[in-house]
Amino acid sequence: MGNKKILIVDDDPDIRQGMNVRLKANHYDTFFAADAFSSMVEARKHEPDLIILDLGLPAGDGFIVMERLKKIPSLAVIPIIVISARDVRVNRERAVKAGAKAFLQKPVDDAELLAVIRQALGEPAQPPEKLEVYDA
Amino acid sequence: MKEKALQVLLVEDNAGDVRLLREMFSKEKPDSFELTHLLRMSEAEIHLAKGGVDIVLLDMGLPDGHGLDTVRRAHAVAPGIPMIVLTGLDDESLAADAMKEGAQDYLIKGQIENRALPRALRHAIERHRMQTETDLIRTHQMQFKDEFLSHVSHELRSPLSAIRQFVTILLDSLAGELNLEQREYLEIVLRNVKQLQSMISDLFEVTGVQAGKLRIELQCTSVCDAIVYTVNTLQGAATAKGITLSSDIECRLPSVCADPTRVRQILIILVDNAIKFTPANGAVKVQAHILEEDSNLLVLKVSDSGCGISSDLTERIFERLFQASDPALAGRKGLGLGLYICKELVTRQGGKIWAKSAPGQGAVFSLTFPIFSLPNLLAPALRKERRTEVPITLVVTEIGALTGWLSDEVRADRCREIRHLLQQCLHSDLDVLLPKMGFAGAVELIFIVATTDGIGGEAISKRIREQLDSCEHIQQAGLTLSTSYRSLEAIKRNASESMEDFLEKVATNIQELMNEEIASRMVKNG
């Protein structure tokens, strides 16, 4: 069975690169988009198993992307995880209403992100690749 | 350009005073003032409510209003209209009080010099205008400050996000193995990143507090769970500093009426602080018991063997931006927001927080929460005499079988919405929606106790289903919802029985039924 495909949508190249390293290490194939427009192009091209979506994007925000995805039957079923630096109080509810499976606040805890991804993909919950806790 | 005449409302019952004032106005340029004269406060209130008045001249001794009361009443109807009070010679101190209540100026009857009246009116209007403007600017500034803080914390999160990502990538050896020294340094980076992250969260939280956006959802909450969670979360930090972190909880502690996530948040702040201010080999302890002076309150205590707080500071530490003056004691400082947030959160859940300490003797932070009481919740629906002998129906709404269902937070959001919907199904004073009854896991139960006048459980159950079915996105979330109902036999109130005893009896019956229900569902859902 091939690796699951994840589309990472974030306008910050550093975040995309970091996410790429983390997801590759967990055997996911990654694709990228940096704005609302190219996220639709990439989603059509690769039909990913999951989309990780930032809210603040050029050319229309994450909510617009979710709206557009929902209009295309083949893409409407793709689970979406929203990751944003925006105020969780306002945006979690809005994101979930718009169809997101989860809302994670930046900076994201990697173990949590991986757990949420596995759940969204219907994969068995595995221990994160390393179980050490770094809390001082 | 011709100026519009100023609309003056004179409220005065003394004919002599009215005549004098009218004379003064008559000496002014025609069309500069237009005088409306009323005798009573009640008439003035009606007139003011209609609008169109530029300034009020108010006597403080009217047939239907006296002293400061007249000022308050006028101010209540028309807060945006400047006011001058008319007073007697011996009442100057009263007039000064009137100005504190919102009057712009006062004139002493019989002492109004020629030409002083129009000047006083114009000054009062101008002063009022400036005051309004200042208030407006202040409001805008506060708004700007909140928006600014919110914006800054947002912008700080993105770069911090990238830092954290790559530090953990390195620490997890995803870019090659690290030597011990490299690992140690990176762990220091990560610790500091987390510190920054929590400061940013504090900033967000505080702007929320100020904008009234704080969300608190009271429910039946176990304090023990919150303590266990906190101790588990911070045990690592305590051990790393050589501090013993322990808890001492009375067994069979009652639940409290509070927001569980907020209780955890408060405890984390307090215990984290205690660890910060306690030197190596010290101890931090969390305790909980019923308050001796008031058995309706549960008290939580976080005590440490740290540097303590001088007695003059035990109140000030809860102020916003307060910080220990000696940074050597606390190591690195935070933003000085933690205790302020604690106080806001505790107060808004109906509790109190205070600190007791002496320098060098450690500190004890105590906070209270109201104990969860079924009789108190039922009281409004059962208080009335006629309802002390009705059958009670318990409608149970279950949210469960969460296919494709993700984080706890999303589930909590859905439950909140469903709860809100249920609230709308209630018949104001006949039904009681009980808070979630301490049932965690994949299934959430929400109970409604209905003391209906013969509507019956079936009807309410149907009403609830209709509400829930009409909510599309709840359906889409892959939730299953079910409602069912059970009836309690009519519970009689004996003639000799006090209302309190009766409520207690009903509550016990309901509690038993709910326990049965929870137990049967736990079996069913594994």
Q: Note the pLDDT tens digit of each residue in A23-58.
A: 999 999 999 999 999 999 999 999 999 999 999 898
pLDDT at B324: 65
Q: Are B72 and B101 in contact (CB under 8 A)?
A: yes
pLDDT at A59: 83
- Of B226, B168, B225, B236, the closest CA to residue B197 belongs to B168
**pLDDT higher than threshold 50 for residue B404:** no
In a domain, A107, yes or no: yes
Task: Indicate the range of A132-136, B149-153, B200-204, B387-391 predicted with least confidence.
Answer: A132-136
DSSP B249: E
Confidence bin at B316 (pLDDT 50/70/90): confident
In a domain, A136, yes or no: no
Using the structure block, give the residue that is written with the tokens 């003059």: B312
Q: Extract the tokens encoding B212.
A: 């009234």
Q: CATH no. for residue A63?
A: 3.40.50.2300
DSSP SS3 for A136: coil
**pLDDT higher than threshold 60 for residue B439:** no
Nearest CA in chain B to A129: B172
Average pLDDT over residues B136-147: 84
In a domain, A135, yes or no: no
Q: Which residues of A touch B199 (CB under 8 A)?
A: none
Q: Are A124 and A13 in contact (CB under 8 A)?
A: no
Average pLDDT over residues A74-96: 87
Task: Indicate the range of B255-264, B316-325, B497-506, B515-524 predicted with least confidence.
Answer: B515-524
What CA–CA distances, in Å, run from A78 to A7, A74, A104, B118, B153? 10, 8, 17, 74, 31
**pLDDT higher than threshold 50 for residue A106:** yes
Decide if B473 touches A, using CB distance below 8 A.
yes
pLDDT at B212: 67
Task: Indicate the range of B177-181, B182-186, B246-250, B515-519 predicted with least confidence.
Answer: B515-519
- Of B173, B186, B215, B204, the closest CA to residue A106 belongs to B204
**B residues 122-141 closer than 8 Å to A (CB):** none
Confidence bin at A130 (pLDDT 50/70/90): very low
Question: Is A110 within 8 Å of B236 when comparing Cβ atoms?
Answer: no
pLDDT at B66: 83
Greatest mean pLDDT among A99-103, B30-34, B357-361, B409-413 lies in: A99-103
Question: Is B193 within 8 Å of A122 when comparing Cβ atoms?
Answer: no
Could you give the residue ranges of the DSSP H alpha helices within B320-407?
A: 327-330, 338-348, 374-382
Tell me which of B47 and B395 has the higher pLDDT: B47
Task: Indicate the range of A84-98, B100-114, B510-524 predicted with least confidence.
Answer: B510-524
Confidence bin at B410 (pLDDT 50/70/90): low
Domain span including residue A15: 4-120
Q: Which amino acid is at A126?
A: Q
The Cα–Cα gap between B393 and B469 comes to 22
Q: Which amino acid is at B319?
A: E
What CA–CA distances, in Å, run from B355 to A65, B276, B478, B512? 50, 16, 47, 39
DSSP notation for B208-239: HHHTT------EEE-HHHHHHHHHHHHHHHHH
Chain centroid to Cα B282, Å, comes to 35
Question: Is B165 within 8 Å of A106 when comparing Cβ atoms?
Answer: no
In a domain, A130, yes or no: no
Tell me which of B504 and B263 has the higher pLDDT: B263
> In whole numbers, what is the pLDDT of chain B averaged over residues?
81
Question: Is B162 within 8 Å of A116 when comparing Cβ atoms?
Answer: no
Q: Note the pLDDT tens digit of each residue in B176-221.
A: 999 999 999 999 899 889 888 888 888 877 777 766 667 787 888 8
Strand bridging mode B61-62 / B297-304: unpaired
**A residues 1-60 closer than 8 Å to B (CB):** 12, 14-15, 18-19, 21-22, 25
pLDDT at A47: 95
A125 to chain B, closest Cα gap in Å? 12
Strand bridging mode B444-450 / B392-400: antiparallel
Tell me which of B364 and B504 has the higher pLDDT: B364
Note the ipTM here: 0.82
Give the one of A119, A130, A135 whose C-beta lies nearest to B237's C-beta: A135
Confidence bin at B525 (pLDDT 50/70/90): low
Q: How many domains does chain A contain in total?
A: 1
Task: Indicate the range of B38-42, B261-265, B433-437, B505-509 predicted with least confidence.
Answer: B433-437
